[in-house]
Amino acid sequence: MNEAVQTLEGWYALHDFRRINWSAFQAAPAEKRRQALTEWKNLLDEWALTESSRRGSTVLYSIVGQKADFVIFHLRETLQDLEKVELAFNRSLIAEFTEPTYSYVSIVELSSYMAKPGTDPMEDPDILARLKPILPKSAHLCFYPMNKRREGHDNWYMLSMDERRSMMRSHGMIGRSYAGKVKQIITGSVGLDDWEWGVTLFSDDPLQFKKLIYEMRFDEVSARYGDFGGFYVGNRLDAARLGDWLGVK
């Protein structure tokens, strides 16, 4: 049996993608629409308090294109905590006008491919900060799920640990070249969802998503062993912008 890489896990993650029934929302009485906006802003305030107490983190982004209208990305300490925030939104007034289009359940993950020999990663404050991160508030977000291929000679899981470590080191160097331009959160979902990993990228310049992902296409890890799901890209949606976005004054 091949050697499995050891992983470190942090906060649980939920990407909750929704579509709004704009016709129904715009046909609703003005007072009901204002109430829906107020409730949503109150939820944003609650999520901000959770973040300030270091018990999780949440960001909200509108989605460009027809796959969804918005995504709420939550990080929480437990799977039960994720269920609570999901239920809180489902019970809100705005949820009456939304329908789920996609969701992704996972957990923040770091692999030991890059671990320093002889050190305890859980005593490294930088590692702990990456496992329980405060999500960036960048202008733009890009999310996609992915698998490592398991077909014929292109079977990632049949490679030796040394082969996988060497390729991941090369792969990681490309990501490091975008430091300061793109921030990423990697979440693992083996046994939790249909894909193996979710990649969430944040940047103030959406063109950097294209440049980074295109460059990685030429790396062997992606070119030979990577399978990718749908891509979702969007713009930061905070409380100040939410009313205009909904068309509610």
Q: How far is residue 147's CA from residue 88's CA, in Å, rounded to a whole number?
A: 31
Helix residue ranges, H only, the chain: 22-27, 30-52, 79-90, 125-131, 161-176, 207-217, 220-225, 239-246
Cα separation, 236 vs 208, in Å, equals: 16
Q: How far apart are CA 2 and CA 8, in angstroms?
A: 19
Say if residues 40 and 94 touch (Cβ distance below 8 Å).
Answer: yes
Look up 144 and say whether it is catalytic: yes
Contact 76, 158 (CB under 8 A): no
Q: What are the Cα distances from residue 180, in Å, to 66, 183, 226?
A: 30, 7, 25
**Rounded Cα–Cα distance for residues 200 and 126 (Å):** 19
Closest by CA position to 39, among listed 113, 100, 92: 92
Q: State the catalytic residue, choosing from 12, 61, 144, 232.
A: 144
The residues carrying an active-site annotation are: 144
